[in-house]
Amino acid sequence: MKSAYILLPLGLACVLGACADNKPLEKGLRVGPSVTRHTKKDQSLTVYSAYQVANDCVMYDLPPSVKITVPPRNGVATVVHVKDHPAYPKTSHLYKCNTRMIPMTAVKYQPNPGFTGTDDIGLQTNFTGSLSSPDKTAVTVEVAP
């Protein structure tokens, strides 16, 4: 069975389709060294999530593991396990998998009360299967008033 790996960063605005830089990335592509998410003062958001789906839409028993390597200075980041729909683009051969609920590992961020400005989080994602080295991602969260 061949596998496809997905690393999907999410921001609440992006779930609503407002962010151009928060697109799903398929095997062979990386989030890159950094991504930026946006929220408002005192509002939490999901800044990152990761999952794996096989080509036949069979879901892995366990989602990828995500570790916070650099905690935020002006808020709290928490790794949680959730079930949600993947968000493959219509151009992906895995788009049909979007109808299924799958296990994901997500990182939620809550800014400190009253904080506005920029906060940074370092993450490391380990996928099951053929990827030998973990993906490292720096997430910048911009908190507006």
Domain count along the chain: 1
Q: What is the reported pLDDT for 130?
A: 56
The residue ranges of DSSP E strands in the chain, in sequence order, are: 3-8, 34-40, 45-54, 65-70, 75-84, 102-111, 117-126, 135-144
> Which residue from 142, 9, 19, 11 is spatially nearest to 72, judged by alpha carbons?
142
**Mean pLDDT (10-residue bins), the chain, 145 residues:** 39 28 36 81 93 79 88 98 87 89 92 98 84 82 97
Q: How far apart are alpha carbons 30 and 145 in whole angstroms?
A: 31
Domain with 29 in it: 3-144
Residue 70: give its domain's CATH number: 2.60.40
Q: Look up the pTM and report it.
A: 0.73
Termini Cα distance of the chain:
49
Average pLDDT, the chain: 77
